[in-house]
């Protein structure tokens, strides 16, 4: 059982049979074909030698197949994490240097260990700190940054800049040295790939392919682009004409690499590593959940942390860089009919074979082709509808979304994530400290109580019913005291205050202190404090304190009963609370 939790392979492995095998094989072939150009491209985006992308697509898949809980998630290098790797490694070493590669490998190791630890500590919930608006804002901004960073390869110019304005400026200032031949490769390939996304499938079906087959074939579009541009380079000798090519890729399986144990380096990298871990986990788990739901399967987020941790550690020890579950490839894997994580393992074999035998063929592959595949891939991440929707629905969420986009574009990916989380949290705490509460009255002829400002309801001057629409925690404890005492101060005839607690899901120590203070002050003024509709768990806890004995009022099961009782209060002191306890009312 315990073993099964940490090694999901023991679960699905038992029922593994021939038909599942063929389906997994099928999917693996398609994903492999798709993954080869992607891996090279994302390594380029991370500022690493293309082959590192291949290394990062072998052992990590095997590790995930053993520890992962999603049947169809395909791990490997992904765009956003590659960008974050580039910015983190770029901060400690120069691109192309041995230190840069070491930093990337170390990032994978640190983030792998962090993910595993978070998993063992069951801290997956920390990913919740990234709200949907923050994530989508971050993805959009990253997409823009990535696409911009790749433009230089398509234009054949040099350009830099680590924030968006700087990138655009640097592109503009170097626009003069455009290499026409690179452009003649880059632009058509980009257009072709854009067309492939939408137009290829219908076209193939027009040629008589079945829908699913057409779909799968279309996924091979990038491979076609790769092949054609390689041929173009060879036929027209484009390298001599200034078209940058991938060049020699070391042949063979991933080397056994050791991540750095240099503390000063780890000190510099742990923050970005943590952000890479969280972003990677969130992206991966969202994909996994979406796909699992389609087949009524479930994933275990905390175990996912362990799975991704293992993948990154495996990546580090085989000379790779940070990986996570990718959206595009996972969908392909799913559509191609993968049934178990074994498909991932088979893909790993495919990539291994590729890095053994295919790499020489990629010598003449233009960088522009890879850049084009990246641009087309990430632009689909840019989402321009969300801001409008958020603005209409929730200004707070809109603010978090826009802040994340703006800061990511201006201050880079790391600051973007941090700011997004910060803004989201600040707005959340701000709302939590000013909760909603309503003065309620009875809806005529019913047992329901509604806001006096929204419904025509029945009230009496000597009873004040306040519905607290929030748990009473330290964040709003002060607010509660002020709110109740101010309402009371406005009502001289008041004899009883009923706090309707149907929406109070918790009362922490600070909330309790405030309730005691309110009870005490109302008592001084000869006003009774009563609670109605208190939830079971909350009542249980209150019973562990002296509050109920000290309460100068009662606990009522229902607001209706409380109101009925107190309405006709003649001024005698209310019976002690244990009287009600005896009647099992609480």
Complex with a copy of itself: residue 7 or 483, whichever CB lies closer: 483
Buried b (16+ CB within 10 A) or exposed e, 57-96: bbbbbbbbbbbbbbbbbbbbbbbbbbbbbbbbbbebbeee
CA angle 410-416-418, nearest 5°? 140
| Nearer residue to a copy of itself within complex by CB, 61 or 501 | 501
Q: Are strands 496-500 and 528-532 parallel, antiparallel or unpaired?
A: parallel
Largest CA-CA distance found in the chain, in angstroms, rounded: 103
CB of 447 to a copy of itself, least distance (A): 6
Nearer to a copy of itself, 210 or 478 (CB): 478
Task: Tell me which residue of 67, 104, 50, 33 sits closest to 323, measured CA to CA.
Answer: 104
Nearest approach, Cβ of residue 550 and a copy of itself (Å) = 13
* Residues near a copy of itself, by CB under 8 A: 125, 127-134, 289, 293, 296, 298, 301, 389-390, 392-394, 396-397, 424, 428-431, 433-436, 447-448, 450-451, 454, 469-471, 473-479, 481-482, 485-486, 489, 502-506, 508-510, 512-513, 517, 521, 535-537, 541, 544-545, 557-558
Sequential DSSP letters for 114-179: HHHHHHHTT-GGGGGGS-HHHHHHHHHHHHHHHHHHHHHHHHT-----SSHHHHHHHHHHHGGG--
**Cβ atoms 64, 115 nearer than 8 A:** no
Q: According to the 3-state scheme, what is the secondary structure of 493-521?
A: CCCEEEEECCCCCCECHHHHHHHHHHHHH
Q: Least Å distance between CB 518 and a copy of itself?
A: 10
Report the nearest approach of a copy of itself to the CB of residue 458 (Å).
17
User: Among residues 20 and 512, whose Cβ is nearest to a copy of itself?
Assistant: 512
- Of 298 and 583, which CB lies nearer to a copy of itself in the complex structure? 298
* Count of Cβ atoms closer than 10 Å to residue 283 Cβ: 23
Both tokens of 211, joined, read 């829908």
Could you give the angle at which helices 79-90 and 413-433 cross, rounded to 10 degrees?
110
Closest CB to a copy of itself among 24 and 397? 397
Burial class of residue 507, CB neighbours in 10 A (0-12, 13-18, 19+):
buried
DSSP state of 385: S
**Least distance between a copy of itself and beta carbon 300 (Å):** 10
Q: Residue 414 and residue 95: Cα distance in Å, rounded?
A: 19
Question: For a copy of itself, which is the closer residue by CB, 51 or 419?
Answer: 419
* In the complex, least distance from residue 530 CB atom to a copy of itself, rounded to whole angstroms: 18
Q: Which residues contact 437 (CB under 8 A, 6 or more apart)?
A: 466, 467, 468, 469, 470, 483
Report the residue number, 397 or 414, with the smaller CB distance to a copy of itself: 397
Q: Which is nearer to a copy of itself, 140 or 359 (CB)?
A: 140
Rounded Cα distance between 1 and 127, Å, is 26
- Number of other residues whose CB lies within 10 A of the CB of residue 297: 14
Distance CA 385, CA 444 (A): 45
Q: Is 418 exposed, middle or buried (0-12, 13-18, 19+ CB in 10 A)?
A: middle
CB of 466 to a copy of itself, least distance (A): 14
Q: How far is the CB of 420 from a copy of itself (least distance, A)?
A: 11
Closest CA to 91 of 368, 276, 319, 282: 276
Query: Closer CB to a copy of itself, residue 208 or residue 536?
Result: 536
Residue among 224 and 485 whose Cβ is closer to a copy of itself: 485
**Least distance (Å) between residue 383 CB and a copy of itself:** 13
Q: What is the DSSP string of 281-318?
A: HHHHHHHHHHHHHHTT----HHHHHHHHHHHHHHHHHT
CB of 585 to a copy of itself, least distance (A): 13
Shortest distance in whole angstroms from residue 546 CB to a copy of itself: 9
């Amino acid at each position: 059982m315990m073993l099964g939790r940490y090694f999901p392979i023991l679960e699905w492995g038992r029922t593994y049979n021939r038909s599942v095998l063929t389906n997994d094989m099928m999917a693996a072939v398609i994903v492999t074909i798709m993954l080869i150009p992607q891996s090279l491209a994302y390594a380029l985006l991370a500022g690493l030698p293309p082959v590192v992308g291949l290394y990062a697509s072998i052992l990590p898949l095997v590790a995930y197949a053993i520890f992962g809980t999603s049947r169809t998630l395909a791990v490997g290098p992904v765009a956003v994490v590659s960008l974050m790797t580039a910015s983190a490694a770029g901060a400690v070493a120069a691109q192309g240097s041995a230190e840069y590669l070491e930093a990337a490998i170390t990032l994978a190791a640190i983030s792998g260990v962090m993910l595993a630890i978070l998993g063992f500590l069951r801290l997956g919930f920390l990913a919740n700190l990234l709200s949907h608006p923050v994530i989508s804002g971050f993805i959009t901004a990253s997409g823009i940054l990535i696409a911009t960073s790749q433009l230089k390869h398509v234009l054949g110019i040099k350009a830099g800049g680590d924030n968006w304005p700087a990138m655009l400026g640097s592109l503009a200032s170097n626009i003069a040295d455009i290499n026409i031949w690179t452009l003649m490769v880059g632009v058509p390939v980009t257009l072709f790939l854009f067309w492939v996304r939408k137009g290829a499938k219908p076209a193939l079906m027009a040629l008589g392919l079945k829908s699913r087959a057409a779909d799968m074939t279309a996924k091979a579009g990038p491979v076609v682009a790769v092949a054609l541009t390689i041929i173009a380079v060879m036929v027209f000798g484009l390298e001599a004409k200034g078209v940058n090519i991938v060049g020699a890729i070391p042949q063979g399986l991933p080397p056994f690499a050791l991540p750095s144990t240099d503390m000063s380096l780890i000190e510099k990298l742990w923050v970005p590593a943590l952000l890479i871990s969280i972003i990677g986990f969130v992206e991966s788990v969202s994909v996994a959940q979406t796909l699992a739901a389609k087949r009524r399967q479930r994933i275990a987020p905390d175990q996912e942390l362990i799975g991704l941790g293992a993948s990154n550690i495996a990546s580090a020890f085989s000379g790779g860089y940070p990986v996570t579950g990718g959206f595009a490839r996972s969908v392909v894997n799913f559509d191609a009919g993968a049934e178990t994580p074994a498909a991932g393992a088979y893909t790993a074999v495919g990539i291994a074979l590729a890095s053994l035998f295919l790499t020489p063929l990629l010598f003449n592959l233009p960088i522009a082709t890879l850049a084009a595949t990246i641009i087309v891939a990430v632009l689909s991440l840019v989402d321009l509808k969300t801001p409008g929707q958020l603005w209409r629905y929730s200004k707070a969420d809109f603010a978090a979304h826009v802040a994340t986009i703006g800061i990511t574009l201006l201050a880079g990916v790391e600051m973007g994530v941090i700011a997004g989380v910060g803004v989201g949290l600040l707005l959340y705490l701000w709302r939590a400290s000013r909760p909603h509460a309503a003065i309620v009255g009875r809806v005529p002829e019913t047992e329901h109580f509604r806001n006096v400002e929204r419904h025509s309801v029945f009230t009496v001057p000597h009873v004040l019913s306040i519905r607290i629409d929030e748990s009473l925690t330290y964040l709003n404890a002060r607010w509660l005291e002020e709110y109740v005492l101010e309402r009371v101060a406005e009502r001289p005839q008041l004899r009883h205050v009923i706090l309707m607690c149907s929406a109070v899901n918790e009362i922490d120590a600070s909330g309790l202190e405030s309730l005691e203070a309110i009870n005490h002050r109302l008592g001084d003024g000869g006003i009774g404090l009563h609670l109605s509709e208190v939830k079971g768990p909350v009542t249980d806890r209150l019973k562990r304190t002296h509050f109920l004995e000290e309460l100068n009022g009662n606990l009522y099961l229902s607001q209706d009963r409380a109101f009925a009782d107190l309405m006709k209060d003649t001024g005698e002191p209310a019976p002690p609370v244990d009287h009600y306890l005896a009647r099992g009312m609480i």
